[in-house]
Amino acid sequence: MLVGDKVYEGRTKILYNTADPDLYRLYFKDEATAFGKRRGAIAEKGVYNAQISTILFTLLSEAGIPNHYREKIGERVLLVKKLVMYPLIIVVRNAVAGSLAPRLGLEEGFQLLEPVVEYYYKREGADNPLLNESHLNTLGFISAGRLQTCSILALQTNLLLRNYFAHRGLLLVDFKLEFGLADEKVFLGDEISPDTCRLWDVGTGEKLDKDRFRWDMGGVEEAYREVVERLLGQV
């Protein structure tokens, strides 16, 4: 592909080639989806998510957690390292929310004694089914050693981000991560934003994430903007 060609377009982001064969441009869109059916747009979401991801990836880099972020080159564009992504979503949960509530029969907001790590198969048309390690061994797309590396990095990321958000009045309820390989090394990829994290106000429990869009609660743009402002220390 030529410089500037589109490599991949997903629901919320687009990857483009660059002059450097080891780097992509990652463009954040304003489009939003939920449950595979609900579609819409959140004004300036791409700008907010690029900014939030920049702040959080920089934090992780400073802590020695390998990730694909290199620099922010536009209000909604990041320069990132090329990765061969695993078709795997790793979810880390600190409190009960989303699908975990009916699965465990617990009330939303119930605080877990320790973080729960879950694996989901990222596959179009398969509705991201929940996996266990036996499934992963059978599917064979990731070795046991690299799965362990991804899981350790996910828990390290959780510890760092949970403390970081708490100091800004935010509870990190849960979040999802994606990983890939470059030069035979595992890196964290994708994004970290209110699209991929559940973030609640510590005092009020107000949701400041994509659940506001999922459940048509209103105030979606305001919630994303407030997360940016808290991370920048403007609240």
Same domain, 206 and 136: yes
Same domain, 69 and 88: no
Asked if the model's pLDDT at residue 173 lies above 90, the reply is yes
Please give the model's pTM, rounded to 2 decimal places. Answer: 0.95
Domain that holds residue 34: 6-81
Q: Under a CB-based contact definition with an 8 Å cutoff, are residues 142 and 130 in contact?
A: no
Same domain, 62 and 93: no
| CATH code, domain carrying 101 | 3.30.470.20
Q: Which residue has the tokens 């589109």?
A: 6
Q: Under a CB-based contact definition with an 8 Å cutoff, are residues 187 and 223 in contact?
A: no
Same domain, 124 and 140: yes
Same domain, 71 and 32: yes
Same domain, 181 and 75: no
Percent above pLDDT 90 for the chain: 92
In whole angstroms, give the CA distance from residue 208 to residue 228: 11
Establish if 228 belongs to a structural domain. Answer: no
For every residue of the chain, which 3-state class applies, written as one string? CCCCCEEEECCCEEEEECCCCCEEEEEECCEEEECCCEEEECCCHHHHHHHHHHHHHHHHHHCCCCECEEEEEECCEEEEECCEECCEEEEEEEECCCCHHHHHCCCCCCEEEEEEEEEEECCCCCCCCEECHHHHHHHCCCCHHHHHHHHHHHHHHHHHHHHHHHCCCEEEEEEEECEEEECCEEEECCCCCCCCEEEEECCCCCECCCHHHHCCCCCHHHHHHHHHHHHCCCC
Same domain, 30 and 132: no
Establish if 10 belongs to a structural domain. Answer: yes
Same domain, 70 and 93: no
Establish if 232 belongs to a structural domain. Answer: no
How many separate domains does the chain show?
2
Angle 51-172-130 from CA coordinates, rounded to 5°: 100
| CATH code, domain carrying 71 | 3.30.200.20
The predicted-structure confidence for 27-81, as pLDDT tens digits, reads as follows 999 999 887 678 899 999 999 999 999 999 999 999 999 999 999 999 999 999 9
Asked if the model's pLDDT at residue 192 lies above 90, the reply is yes
Confidence band for 123, pLDDT divided at 50, 70 and 90: confident
